[in-house]
Amino acid sequence: MQETGKNDLIVFDVEAVAKVPGPDALANLYDFANTLDVRHFTHHGVPHRQDDELTSAQALAVWMVQRKLARPDAKITPAMFEAALALRASLRDYLQHDPAKRRSKSATGALNAAIASFLLRAELGNEAAAALRPVRDDALSGLSVVAAELYDGARDGSLDRLKMCAADECRRVFFDRSKPATRRWCMSNLCGNRVKTRAYRERQRVVRICEA
């Protein structure tokens, strides 16, 4: 993705995005989904503090400016803020589905409805062979990069590796780099172990009850 110098329209360079392997091509998508941090486990005796980076329209503007998705003077209206939050909520709902079950309308319906606010148009003959430009031209246009990364990731299959941690007390979005792409937890030695240990204790409890 790059910005044009003349009119500050945000341009998505499809070729440049396609060349970047792994999560870099989905970096904005990944970061945006993880602006909501609902982790509430205790690690080494220290409780994790839940957080939301997008608590207001102004906070969203700051987040976008930091990623060069908006100009420093960007003014996000309440309606734009609502559209962004709807996009994030439907994105997180979509990502919590197992990749094998993401083709159904129940998995894609809400996300497709939300990204309808972030339409893209193709443009040929720019510096790159082709570029995707946001249709909207307001302060929220840069967030259309999420729609572009969803499109690219779905086309090349990398989106199936973007998952939500299966641990209820975590729910962090992570990129599965394992060869078979079968990881369920963001960190196996933390979330995976916690879930397995709990399941083991539960089995032991049931055994004790049955033996009693």
Binding interface with Zn ion (CB under 5 A): 165, 167, 170, 172, 186, 191
Q: Which lies closer to Zn ion via its Cβ, residue 44 or residue 103? A: 44
Work out how close the CB of 196 gets to Zn ion at its nearest, in angstroms, rounded to a whole number: 13
DSSP result, 48-72? PPPEES-SSHHHHHHHHHHTTSS-T
Q: Which lies closer to Zn ion via its Cβ, residue 67 or residue 192? A: 192
Q: Which lies closer to Zn ion via its Cβ, residue 69 or residue 170? A: 170
The two three-digit tokens of residue 113, written as one number: 């409805």
Dist. CA 200–CA 195, nearest whole Å: 9
DSSP 8-state class, residue 23: G
Q: Which lies closer to Zn ion via its Cβ, residue 118 or residue 174? A: 174
Dist. CA 139–CA 76, nearest whole Å: 6
